[in-house]
Amino acid sequence: MDNELRELYQQVILDHNKSPRNFKKLEDANHHAEGHNPLCGDHLDVYLQLENDVVKDISFIGNGCAISKSSASLMTAIIKGKTKDEAEELFGKFHDLVTGKLKNTNEIEALGKLAVFQGVQEFPARVKCASLAWHTLHNALNNKEEKISTE
């Protein structure tokens, strides 16, 4: 990766860390999961409003390093409006990207801004930071939140 590209990637990560997108608790969420990366101390809550297997809305809150926070922020921006299957497919692609298994340049380019996390494959401890939000999303997609009913 050339230096110019690396710098651009760093800017995206810093921007999303400083002003994370969809950083709030979603009041009408019907799916929720909590994610924790004890290795770094990252902690995230992901909220989903899932309707007919489409992510109508998504948000997150939490504390963590710049990598985990910016990854969660970019993820929420990209996942909004996607179907459950599309979200799971992106999770797989993202996981392959950060673990260095995705080598095809066209496939990497197709990931758009998510490609900024390509660099973490050089830092194994950071792979967990970058993928925490996605693992949490995966759990949220598959766990329906128990809501207390007053009926």
| Sites of contact with Zn ion (CB under 5 A) | 40, 42, 65, 68, 129
| Run of H or E residues at 63 | strand 54-63
We find the least distance from the C-beta atom of residue 68 to Zn ion, in angstroms, to be 4
Instruction: Please identify, using beta-carbon distances, which residue of 36 and 56 lies nearer to Zn ion.
Output: 36
Closest to Zn ion by CB, 34 or 89: 34
CB of 117 to Zn ion, least distance (A): 12
Q: Which two tokens stand for residue 140?
A: 């949220």
Tell me the CA distances in angstroms from 53 to 21, 81, 130, one per residue in order.
22, 10, 25
DSSP letter assigned to residue 27: T
Q: How far is the CB of 9 from Zn ion (least distance, A)?
A: 17
Nearer to Zn ion, 34 or 51 (CB): 34
Tell me the C-alpha distance between 88 and 138, whole Å.
7
- For Zn ion, give the closer residue by CB, 29 or 76: 76
CB of 41 to Zn ion, least distance (A): 7
Report the distance separating Cα 50 and Cα 79, nearest Å: 11
**What angle separates helix 66-79 from helix 3-18, to the nearest 10 degrees?**
80
Cβ nearer to Zn ion, comparing 12 with 40: 40
Q: Distance between CA 133 and CA 16 in Å, rounded?
A: 14
Compute φ and ψ for 60, nearest 5 degrees.
Answer: -150, 155
